Structure formats: C-alpha cells, structure tokens
Chains A and B, each alone.
Chain A
Amino acid sequence: MEMKFSGQFEVSPPPAQAFDLLSDPQKFAPLLPTFSSLEMKDANTAVVKVSVGIGKIRGTATTQMTLKEKVAPKHATYVGTGKVMGGAYTMISSYDLEPKGTGTLVKWQGEVQLVGKILSLAGGGMRGYAEQQIQSVVTSLQQAMSPEYQKEATARKAAQAEKKSSGWMSGLMKKLRKHEEAAAAVEAAPEEAIDASALLAGYTGPAMDAVDATAAVSQPLNSFARNGDFSAAVASHKGDKWVHASLSRKEDGRLVRGRGLFVDDYKVAGMLHMSLVRSPYGHARIVRIDTSKAEALPGVVCTLTGKEVAAVANPYMQIGPGDAQNIKDYPMAVDKAIYQGEPVVAVVAENPRIAADAAQLVEVEYEPLPAVTDWKTALEDKSILHPGLGTNHHWHGVYEYGDLDKAFAEAATVIKIGQMDFHRFASTPLETNAVVATWTPFGGVDFLCNNSFPAIVIQMIAPSLNLSIDQIHCKTMDVGGSFGNKIGNYPYMALSALASRKAGGRPVKWVETRTEHMQAGGHGSERVYLDTEVALDKDGVITAVRAKHIDDCGAYPRYEPLGCVIWSQVLPACYKLRNIRIDFNQVVTNKGPSSPNRGYSRLQQLWFMERVIDICAHELGISADEMRLRNYIREFPYTTPNGCVYDSGNYPLLLEKAKELIGWDDWKKKQAAARAEGRWIGIGIGTTLDSGTNNFGQARIVNPYLPFSGNSEVATIKLDLDGTVVVSLGSTPSGQGHETTTAQVVADELGIRPDMVEVRTGFDTAFNSHGGHSGSYASQFAVTGLSAAHGACQKLKKEMKKLAAFALEANEDDLEFGIGQQGPELRVKGTDRSINYWGLSAMVNINTASQPPELADITLNIRHVYRPPFKIPDTDKKFGNLTLTYASQLHIAVIEIDTKTYVPQILAYAAVDDCGNVINPKIVAGQVHGATAHGIGAAMMEAYIYDKEANLLTSTFTDYTPITVMNMPDLAYGDIETPSPFSYNGAKGMGEGGGAPLHTICAAIQDALFDKGVVVRNTFNPPSDIYRLLKNPNWAECVKVERRAA
C-alpha cells in the first residue's frame, strides 16, 4: 500500500541555515511535536521515536532515518524505515529549498509504503490506524519546520528533558498524589482516594494460603472395556462382513472426549517454547539483526538467526532441474526475506508468553527490495528472488500429444478463450503446523509432529542436519487436518531441532499461530491459462485443446515443481479428445510458499477443462449436460493421450444420478419461470477426477535426474505375546479413519471382529512400517495402505496356518479362521479342534520349546511392502501411467444471484461420487462433504489476496473467512461403484475430490448470467466480482469463434 504526501512551507531562516537544520536529524528530530527519543546510529542515520495514537489505541512509532542525498543548500532526501503496530513502513521524503525573501521556501514530498499484517486486519479496517499513524509522523515533520514551532522549540526541549527523566511510575505517582490532594480537599469523600500502592499492585484475588492449590483434574475410575466404544459400534452392526460396513470409528472414542493427542496437547518435562520473528516485507535484504534485548529478557533461553542456521545446516534438496538446484532454501531467511512472514529470528523461552514478549524485542533492520507478486512481473526478471536460479521462471516444459495442426485444420469450429485465472487459496487445517523437537543425547532428533508425508520429510531433514535417517525419530499422533498443507511444515521441524540443540537438548515446542499459518503455512498454487484454443467437430465434440499455463508457486518451490507434472495425471479430464498441447511453466513470486492442497495441481487442470467445455457449449448453443455426454470417455480402462490409464468409471451414470438427486427437470422449470420474472438462477455441472496413488516416476518428467519411481506403502502385522492382532501403518491419517478401515479389512481377512484388531495410532519411524513414500497424500490409502495391510494379512495367515496345522495335526487346507469360545482361532473345519491366537503366539514367543525346527522361520511378525505395478515414464515424450486409480465426481449446483445485492446463494447442491468399492460408506460420504465444502469455500469466500507490495491482505481467519455452516448448502449425496481393476479390493483412492465445486459454481454463475454477455474466468467469485463482471461484459472480448465451412 502506497501513500503520497507533498506540500510546502516557508521558514524565516535563509536556505543555508534551514538546510543545516534539515540535514541534521539531531537538530530537527527533537522538534517533532510527538518526539519521544533519538539515537544516532552514525553521522547520517538517526533512530527517532515518536508517540502516535488513534482513538483508543496508542503506541510508539520508531523510524530510522538516513540522509541519502545532501546537496547543500538545495536538496535533501531521507529514507526512513519504521515499525508501526503490526507492520512496517518505508518513507522516502525529499526537501527542495529555495530562497524566498530573507527566508526559505521548503517544498517537500513524501512517499510511504506500508507493509505488514496490519493491512489485513478487519478486512483492511485497521489500515486506517496505520495510515493515521504515518500521517501523524509526516505532519510532525512538517510542523517541526514551521516558524511557530521553532519559536517554541527551546521551551519544548526543556519540558521534554524533564519528561524523559520521569518514568511511567513517577508520572503515575504524581498523578496519584494530585488525586489524593484533590480527594483530601473534598469533604466527606475519603473513599474516593485510591491507595497508590494497591493500584500499582492491581487486583490480586484471595490469598493462596489454607487452600489446596494443587488440586488437579481427576476422574472416577470407572470399569472399562478394551476398545469399549468401538466394541459397542461393532456390536451394533448386523452381519459378519466388515468391508463396506458403515461402521462408527474407533478414533471417535478419544476425540469426542477431548482426549485426542494433538501436538500442542503434548507436554514433557523441561519443554521450551519457540516463537518466530517474521519479515513484514515481501522482499527485503536483512541488514542487521540485534537479539540482545530479547536475550536479556528473563526466561529467554536463546535466540537463533538464519546465519547461525546456515552455518551448521545444508539447504534443502531441490526437486527442480538445472539451476533450480542452486536455490538455497533454509528454515530461516539468511541474507534476505522473500515473502511476508518468512522466519528471520527464532526465540526460545520457558513459556510461550515470554517467547512472544522476547520476539517483540528483537530488532531487525531491512532494506526493502522490489516485490514480485504476479506471473507477469515474475517473468520480466527485473527483480530476482533466487540469485542461484538467476530467473524467476522456475520450470518450463511442453506437453504435446496427437496432431494439433491436423485437428485444428479439420475443425468445424475453433474457439479461442482469453486469459483465465485459478486463484490462491488453501484448506487451512484447523490445527496449525506444530512440532515438539528434541535433540537427544544419542545424537539424533526426536520429533512429535503433524507432518502428513513424514517419509519424504525425513529424507529432506536428514541431509540438511547432517544426520542419518535412522537418527531421526519421527512420530505423529492425532493430526487436526492436513489436506496436503502439512506436507510443507518440515522447515519448522528442522528449525525446532536446531533450537533444541542450541538450548542444550531441551525439548522445544513450536505451534504456529493462525496468522503465521495464513502467511507461511502453505498455499495452494495459482495458475493462469493463456492463449487457449479449442478445436471442435460439427457435433460439438472437442478434438483438440492448446494453451499456455503458468503456475505461481510462491517464494520457495519446496515440493515444486512436482505440480508441473501432477496436473497431467488428468490431462484430458473426463473427455475423449486426443490432441492436446500445453506449454507449462512455473514462476516464483514474493508470496507464501505453496504446498500441496486438496486436489493438488489436478483441480487446476480439471477446472480449466470444465470451463472449456462449458464455454464451448454456451457458444455452440449446446446444453451443458448434452455437451458432456457428447464428450465423455466411455470405455474403460482408457489410456489417455499421455499414457495414463483411467481404470474404471461411468460418467453418464454419474450425471444421471446427480440429475435425479437434485431434481434436474424440476429445477429447469423453476429456472425458466424465475428467468421470466427477471431473476438470475443458474444450474451448473462439474465432472472431475480424483487420481490416486502416484507413480513417483512422474517426478522424472520435471527433472530426469531424480532417483524416484513407483510407489510403496508398508504395513506390519503381528500376533502379540497375548495373541492380539497388532497392525501398524505408514500413513498419517488426519481424520480419514485409517484405524477403523484397516481394522475392517483385517477383520474380514481373519474372520474376526474389527474391535479385535489393534491398529496403532499415527505414524512412527520406530514402528518400522514405513517406506520411502509413506504418508497420507494423493488419495491413496484405500489402495496403498489397505493393500499393504491386506498383503501383510496374507503372509501372517500363511504362518498361522502352518503353526496351527502342526499343533492340530491337520492339513492346512482343512483349517479355517474364525472366532471360537476362546476368542480368535483357527479350527479344523467341521470339528471342535482349534487353537486360539494366544496358543499360536505362545508357540513362537513364550512356549518356544514346543516349536518344531521346521517352523523356526515363523515369526508371526510380518512387514509387508505394497508396490503398485508402475513403470518409469518416458521423460522425453512425457508419457506413462502416472496414477493407479481414478475416482470420479459429478456435482450439480443451483445458484440464485440476488439481482439487488449480487449475493449468490446456493439453492440446491448434489454431489455424486464413484470411488469404486467402498470400504466404509460413512467415511467416504464424510470425505465428499468435506471436499465439497472446501470447493464451495474457495469458489465463493476464500482467497489469499496480496497487494502489489506483497502484503497478504487476508492473513487472519476473520479476513480469509474459511467457509462456515451459514455458507454451506444442504448437500444431497449419492454414489455409484465402478470397481477398480487395479486394486486388490476394487477400491480407488479418494478424499481429495477433484475440486468439483469450483467448477460447478462457476458454471452455475455463468448459467445464471447466461444472457449478460459475461464469461466467468476466475475460480474466485465473491459478490463484488460478480458485480464487476456484470458491469463489464467480457464475452465478446474473451471468447472468439471461427466457424469453418463443413
């Protein structure tokens, strides 16, 4: 945000004298009416403090002023930088002096740029405060130079000297004495006198003595059953098959009691707390850091700067090719900060309040650099973020398939579409990023964290901290949502580890505040679509699409440029076109680093294709449903032009089901009637894909030298000493109910009940149940996690059968699994001969003398690695199968836009999902609800908005407004099941959804305004934007059609 001021005034001294005053901060600063203190840094630099205040809020503004230009006696320029509440500013002010009579005419102009989170508070409402603060500094300067002021200067100086000598305390005491005198003077009003010492003490409450101040929370020891709540849920289920049962979750028991263990709930003796000082600038050189005041605060253990970090740690591995390898990404800014909110100094203290107090005392001097906030400016390369990369153009590649020239030459219609934009937003999990890190006496690091892809994180952190991977013990418990965002929190994990090391190995807890999360916790990437051209045949079937796409991944690529290939998992979306050319690019900008976000990179492509479909349909006068039916892929498995294999699906059936759910025909009639009344009602369709289970070989398409391919997930299963079935996973569930669905799968395999299966909570490297791809991301658990658990079960069953056959003197083929009188057992079919799990375990673990030598290899402790059948893609042709399964979604929305207020309201919403065979219908429906809410929120309410100085204007929840219940329509939910031929269970990964609501809502808004000459070409459509669209009809400008003779 920029403000400009200018003016002129006359002073009585001649130019030489006026210049002398003006060019010496020591002389004129004390003249400021609100002056409070001055400190000279060097001959040309002064730190000036003035008091400022608006309304009820008062504070001090500190400005460091440097005399940059000095042309005596004509011209002086000051560059000032300063802090205001919640922000910082840069002020350039110049003075030109001309003689006038015996005096001087001073012409001045100032330019102020304001940065910081203050700009976002209260929807920008707090901006007024900051403006007024700065204005008061400027006014002060102006006044300081005026003749009247100079007359008073001496007197003021003397007064100020006195004021300075009296601290706050003596000021108060003086006031109090005055009051006492006044009170004494008033008869019969002794109670009005206030005891000064009592007032300074404040209210203290009753005494602590004679009361048990150690009373602690406890609860009666009621009798309890193992897995009590889950057993009750299991008992209420009819039938003995568990896969496909709508079972209530095992996780719920602790979570509804508030007994989940999220990172911030974890406390350990000696634990310290870390708070971060973050850059208010989007792009600035770090000139100087002074941590001395912070370190002097009692309770502060240490501070840590980027330079200290860089001295001992290696920058993180970069995924990008070529010069992208030279990007230096550390957990803290070293020489410069490149986004607002980038950590600059860490403060470690005994409690979080002291840490926050100390963070405020850290002094950082910045030199602002030009900010890059959009793809266009980024590509100009005038201001470069990463010197090692040498450009902001981080990645480029062309994806071309089929014969574009031929398709366009033969087209009946070619439609050209102008720029379209996919905006910046994120799922903002309700639990922010958090970690407790301990640098242990054994030389390694212990993490309790909420990262959702720990397998990659330990591979990132170990080389950065010069540790072996096994020296990192990484553990998660309950995770309060991730949606991909928490993949990117590893820099904070490493930072906390280094802080712990500096604090002598005491555990360090770091919990991100919400504002920090919004600035720096991981944004979904923006994408812009340029030069789109679509070829269609005479029936409205799309034959070719070409376009140029540019991703904006923010300041540090981190997980990028994987997004530059992941979108191509759904290259043609749900449509059968064979000729596609996308020129794909990625730029870095001075915005928060991006991270995977629910629907990561695919939803951008799906939105693009859905917009293309609807814009073409509208142009050709084909209805949206008919257009889709003409273009849908119908044969499965289907190999896309870039070699991806869509496993199964039935898009026309999805459409039919969704139409039925929403009452399509009825709404069509209502729409017609409403239109006749001049109301704006629109119906929109979105068909999307949720591609799951990545082939990591696709990473080689962005960088051929990366050593990854395929995918893996691990599960362990064992019969414990008491015969309990214990399973551990490699996933990091954050609400998806893996403990429950795994228990369902294992129960079916062993013929027992889910409450007889112990599935361990969370991820733990100590479980030894992880591989290099373990984690929860990319809609894969139903395939990878459950395949691993299922595979482990098969191996365990084999061992159990061998043991049982020996113990029961029976043939393995005659044995069956089930539940007997003594719990889970194997028995000889048709007999009462059986051995329970305890018996089997005892043979291996306890009563081992009875185990015959030929069974000595049996451990009843299985580790199974599931590896999907992937090949390494052809990196030159960018061709190969990139994902294993393709769940599909079809959403329909009916939206009415109020003709008076432009506020859109969703009147009806239907979501139909196909994720193949469903393990737990309740959980699947819940995932669809959640993904739908994220999409609706993003389409209508949620956006990370930056100004051109790289200030984030929506840095709190109150400003970003994540979707609430008041904004959500009632969802009509339905499903179909087209089993995947590629997973053992016919299931497809799901959960991310394909961002169907983003498109569905855009389409409905477009349909509501069908005759207004507007084209919806942005994913974000708040009422203000709908209004702007209506005022500036853009169809003719954005959509150009060439019709060819048949």
Chain B
Amino acid sequence: MYPAPFRYHRPTSLKEAILMLSTLGETAKPLAGGQTLIPILKLRMDEPTDLVDIGRLPDLRFVKNEGGWIEIGALSPHGWIARSDIAKTVPIVKDCAGGIADAQVRSRGTIGGSVSAADPNCDWPALLNTLDAEIRCSGPEGDRTIAIGDFITEAYTTALQPGELVTSVRFRTPPAGSGGAYIAYKKAAAAFPVISVGVQMTVAPGNVCQDVRIALGGSGPTPRRAEQAEAELCGKALNSQVWQHAADAVAAIAEPTDDVRGSSEFKRQLLRGLFLKAGDTATRRSANAIIEGSHVYA
C-alpha cells in the first residue's frame, strides 16, 4: 500500500534523464506513467533508491505517419493513442490502445512504459509484434533501433541497457487492402489479459490471403509470432478449413501457464477461438468494413 522511500528526480531533457539513470545505476528506475511500476512499488515488490521522472520530457508524445512509417512517441498515453488519427487509420491499434486496462490507466500509462515492462501478458508487446514494429531507444551510447522480437528478451526483461530509454516505436504503414484485429481476453478491464492475439493481413480480390502476420500474447514468456499459422494462410483462398488449420497451428505453438485464470489446455483453446474471431474481423476490415473491436471480458 505504501511504497518504500525513494529519491525523486525530474530531468528536463532526454539527455539529462539518460545521464541521471546511468549515473545512479541499477537501483534507479525511470518513471513514465507509472501504471506498471507504482503498483509494484506499493506492494513493495521492488524498492528502488531513486525514481527518475521522465513523464514530462518534451517531444515524446506524438504520432506520425510519414514516409511509409507510423511512429508513436514513447510517452504517448494509451487513451491518447486510441483517440489519435493513427487509431482511425489502423484499427488494430485502436483495438489494443482503447482496450488496455481502464479509462483511468489509459490516461496515464504510456506505450514506452508498457513495452519496457515486457510483461508476458500485456497488450502492447503482442500488438507491436503483430505489426513487426521497431523500438527506438536512446542511451548513454547513443541511439539505436531494435526489432520488437529482439527487444523483449525474456519475461519482464528487455534489451535496454542501464540508462537507456525507449523514445518511440514505429512500424510500416499497412498498405491498402490490409486489415487487422487484436483481441485480448481478460476477466475485467483492470485485470491482466489472460491471453491475446493480433492478426494483420492483406486480402486480395478472390479472398486470397496475400500477406499475414500473427502474434500471440500470454502464450509464453515473450510474445510469439505464429509463423506456421501464417504459412497456412498465405497465398491461399480463405475458407473455414484454411482458418481451422491456421488455428491449429496457433494453438500448437502457444505455451500458456497453468494458473488461477485457467489451465494451459483451456487457454490454448481460448486462443484458438480468439484467433478465429480476430481473423474474421481482420478479413472484413481488409475490405474496409467498420467493426468496433475490443477486449473480451468474462
């Protein structure tokens, strides 16, 4: 309920933040929106000596759609992203951003913070994997860009070096004829997603799948790409049999944990079901259908 004491720092520039963090060392933590970190501190699961508040750093809340890339600033809150133009043009982003936790958490929680937390069940890592995103970082050694698959190395662990911060994420603007959907299952808004799936696909006339990328959340320590399932769909005319095969392939690579939210076996079946729903929505969206997607609660 009450976090342990810590020192508070408020750098005014990204440069200063990086310098502070790398100077203070591993017992210092960056604080962005705090929606992941503060609950951990309140339960005293972690007791950093210093918090470096990066929440006010300038120029890190933005969305851009330029030169074939969509880029989202690290300090963009989920709710703000869900209301942005990007969410309108890329519905899968709205599915994710607008469904994360609840309205209050979406006011504060940021995409940069979420992806840095690398929680195996959380939404952004799975979604960004679906979109084959890159994570742009800045640290004491300079700037670098890391593919999402390389960025999250283990559960709760990223490739970020001490003092290094995420500055933005970016992915290629989906082409015309591409549609996507992201569905997470959770018991309630403020509960952690149990399992999730994202599908982004391009469907050519004749209902042929031209291109597809599928990623799974809550199905292992890090988000997983379902390559075999992608292969089942790619180049094929979509029918229920093709989808079933893809769904089998999705379920086959998922390794969800057994816990109070369900057995591993059940979660695989659930994932299968969610995948088929996401696939259906993605197909229809690729034909420009307007479908409100959301998280599934029960």
Contacts and interface: CB of A to CB of B under 8 A. Distances in A.
Interface of A: 54-59, 85-86, 117-118, 120-129, 168, 171-172, 175-176, 179, 192, 194, 199-203, 352-353, 356-357, 360, 513, 515, 898, 900-905, 940-941, 943, 945, 953-954, 957-959, 961-964, 966-967, 1022-1024, 1027-1028, 1031
Interface string B263-291: 10111011011101100000000000000
Contacts of B8: 202-203
B230 interface: no
A168 B44 CA distance: 20
A967 B297 contact: yes
Interface in B247-274: 257, 259-263, 265-267, 269-270, 272-274
Contacts of A898: 273
Contacts of A194: 16, 19-20, 23
A900 B275 CA distance: 10
A910 B201 CA distance: 42
Interface in B184-198: 185, 187-192, 194
Q: How large is the interface on B (under 10, 10 to 19, 20 to 34, 35 or more residues)?
A: 35 or more
A686 B270 CA distance: 29
A54 B156 contact: yes
A954 B260 CA distance: 8
B245 interface: no
Nearest to A183: B19
B125 to A, nearest CB: 13
A129 B43 CA distance: 14
Nearest to A168: B49
A353 B42 CA distance: 11
Given A356-B2, A898-B273, A958-B190, A1023 B9 contact: no
A239 B4 CA distance: 59
B276 A85 contact: no
A125 B45 contact: no
B134 interface: no
A298 to B, nearest CB: 12
Interface stretch (B75-83, B86-94, B116-124, B169-177): B116-124
A964 B7 contact: no
Interface stretch (B24-32, B64-72, B143-151, B206-214): B24-32
Interface in B20-54: 20, 23-27, 29, 40, 43-47, 49-50, 53
Nearest to B157: A55
A1023 B50 CA distance: 43
B278 to A, nearest CB: 11
A55 B154 contact: yes
B27 A58 contact: yes
Contacts of A117: 43
Given A55-B118, A55-B155, A957-B190, 12 more contacts: A55-B156, A56-B156, A85-B44, A125-B119, A179-B19, A192-B15, A199-B24, A202-B8, A515-B1, A961-B191, A1027-B265, A1031-B265
B156 A129 contact: yes
Given A55-B157, A86-B43, A121-B45, A1023 B23 contact: no
A1031 to B, nearest CB: 8
B108 interface: no
Contact of B260 (A172, A179, A953): A953
Contacts of A125: 119-121, 192, 257, 259
A122 B297 contact: no
A36 to B, nearest CB: 14
B296 interface: yes
A941 B27 contact: no
Contacts of A172: 23-25
7 contacts: A54-B157, A55-B156, A128-B155, A172-B23, A360-B44, A1024-B263, A1024-B266
A172 B296 CA distance: 48
B5 interface: yes
A1022 B266 CA distance: 11
Contacts of B261: 123-124, 1022, 1024
B298 A958 contact: no
A964 B188 contact: yes
Most buried by B among A175, A1022, A1024, A1031: A1024
Contacts of B221: 128
Nearest to A360: B44
B236 interface: no
Contacts of B26: 58
Contact of A59 (B16, B47, B274, B296): B47
B266 A1023 contact: yes
Most buried by A among B9, B27, B43, B185: B43
Contacts of B49: 168
B262 A1022 contact: yes
Contact of B25 (A175, A203, A513, A966): A175
Most buried by A among B15, B158, B262, B267: B262
Most buried by B among A122, A129, A958: A122
B2 A353 contact: yes
Nearest to A118: B45
Nearest to B37: A56
Most buried by A among B2, B4, B47, B267: B2
B29 A961 contact: no
Contacts of A957: 190
A903 B274 CA distance: 10
Contact of A86 (B45, B188, B297): B45
Nearest to A947: B260
Contacts of B47: 59
Question: 4 closest Cβ contacts across the A-B interface?
Answer: A900-B273, A55-B156, A1024-B262, A901-B273
A1023 B296 CA distance: 12
Nearest to B263: A1024
Contact of B188 (A360, A954, A961, A1028): A961
